[in-house]
Amino acid sequence: MTDGGSEPAADGGSESSAGVEAGGPPVRRLADWNAGELRTLAGEYGTPLYVLDLDRVRENYRRLAAAFPDAELLYAAKANALGDVLETLLAEGAGIECASAGELERALAAGAPGESLHYTAVNPPARDLEYAVDVAADHPRLTVVAGATDTIDRLGERGYDGRLALRVNPGVGAGHHEKVRVGADAKFGVPYDRAVEVLADAAGRGFDVVGLHAHVGSGVSGEALEAHREFVSRMGELARTVERELGGLEFLDVGGGFGVPYRDDEESLDLAAVAEATREALGGVDARLTVEPGRYLVADAGVLLTRVNTVKEAPGTTVVGVDAGMTTLARPAMYDAVHAIRSLEPDASGRERRPETVTGPICEGSDVLCRDRPLPASERGDLLAIGNAGAYGYEMASVYNSRPRPASVVVDGVESRLARRRETVADVTRPERAATEPRD
C-alpha cells in the first residue's frame, strides 16, 4: 500500500530513501502510504479509523529474523494484540510474549501453541495468575516469567511447578521517555544481585527453571544503544554465573525495545549493527538468545485516519479540531510523542502552509496531537493521516468522556477488511446495564 512516488506527501515529510534489505525497506514514512487508498477506506468505514498493513508486519518480522538468525523471536503483544496481527506473526514463525491474562487468552485464540508463549506479567492479579496456571495445565510447555519472589510463592501455592523464568532488574534503563525506561525501575524484576539466590531457591522447590529475562526499555535507538549494550553485557555475565553455579539455562531473553523513527529527520535503526552489538555484548553463553520486539514489528504498519470538524483562528496558530483525540491515540498526551501528520486531500500540496495545532474532542488541555506544526491549510471535512500508529495506538485507547473506541481495518495484499467494528455508546454502557439486570 504505497504511493510509489505518484503523489507527493503533503506534510513536508520526505519519501524514504533507504535501500531495500531483507524484509523490505527498513523504514516506512507516512509519505509512503497511498493517499487514494486511504481516502477510500475512510469513505467506506468512517473515522476515526485505524488501518494496519499486514504485509508490512511480515516485512518487519523477516528483516528482524534476518538480523537475528539464531535467536528465538517473541512478539510483545502489548504493542498491538489484534487477532489478525497475532495470527500473521504466528504464521511467520514468531512466538508471543504476553503481559496479561487477556493477552494470553488472545494468543491462544489466535492459534498459538503453548511452547511459543511466555507469560510475563508484572505483579499479576490473583485471577490472572490462576488463569495462567490453568492454561499451563493444558499447555505444559508454556513459560511463566516471574519478577518477584512473591509471584513465585503465589505460583507454588496454586500448585504450579512448571517452566519458570526469572525477570531481573539489570539496573540499566533506556528508551524514548522516562516512563518506559524500565530497566532501572524497581517495579520490574528481581534485583540483579539477588537473581542467583532466587533461582537456586526456585529450583530447590521443584520449579523447572529454564531462563532469565530482562528488558531495558522501549523505543531504544541512537545514543540509547550504548545503554542497551551495557545491559546485554550484564545479562550475559549473569547467565554465565547461573550456568556455572546452577547448571544450564534454555534461554536468555533480553527483551525488545527496538526503536522506530517517529520524526522525518530521524534515521531508521541499523538493525544489523544492533544485532551484532547484542551478540558481542552477550559474550559466550550456552543459553539461546531470545528477543521480544513489539513496536518495531507494527508501528510503521499502521496509520490513524481522522476527519477535520472545526478550524479556528487563534493568536499565533490555527486550531484544527479533528474527530480523533487522546482517547483514540494516547501517546502524544502521555509521552509528548511526535507522530507525523499528513493531509490526504488531493490538492493539499498546492495549499498555503501555516502553523496548525491539531486537537481532539476531549475536554482536556492535553488532548493535542501536535502544536504549531507547519501543515497545508486545513479545511472542515479534510482527511488527515497520523503515522506510526500501529503500536500502542488502539491498545491504549479508552472510553474517557464516554467516547466509543474506533474501528480497525486490516489491509492484506490488495484486500482490506474490517478487523474490529466501531464501538457504540451502548457498548460503553453495557456493563452498567448488565449489572442491574436480574439474575436467574
State the DSSP code for 21: B
Could you give the C-alpha distances from 228 to 40, 215, 276, in angstroms and in order? 42, 9, 12
> How open is the CA angle 165-167-173, to the nearest 5 degrees?
150
Collapsing DSSP to helix, strand or coil, 397 comes out as coil
Collapsing DSSP to helix, strand or coil, 12 comes out as coil
Residue 51 grid cell: 488501518
With residue 138 as reference, give the H or E element that holds it.
Answer: helix 126-138
Compute, in degrees rounded to 10, the torsion defined by CA atoms 319, 341, 45, 420. Answer: -110
Q: Distance (Å, rounded) from C-alpha 324 to C-alpha 361?
A: 7
Residue 241 grid cell: 554465573
Of 363, 414, 426, 434, the active-site residue reads: 363
CB 305, CB 42: distance < 8 Å: yes
CB 235, CB 170: distance < 8 Å: yes
Collapsing DSSP to helix, strand or coil, 339 comes out as coil
Instruction: Identify the burial level of 326 via C-beta atoms within 10 angstroms of its C-beta, where 0-12 means exposed, 13-18 middle and 19 or more buried.
Output: buried
Which residue's C-alpha cell is 454502557?
A: 429
- Among 341, 328, 344, which Cα is nearest to 382's? 344
> 370 an active-site residue?
no
233-270 b/e with 16+ CB inside 10 Å = b? bbbbebbbebbeeeeebbbbbbbbbbbbbbebeeebbe
Could you give the C-alpha distances from 42 to 50, 51, 269, 303, 409, in angstroms and in order? 10, 9, 31, 12, 10
Q: Distance (Å, rounded) from C-alpha 394 to C-alpha 198?
A: 37
Could you give the C-alpha distances from 174 to 192, 243, 385, in angstroms and in order? 17, 27, 29
State the DSSP code for 33: B
Which residues does the annotation mark as catalytic?
Answer: 363
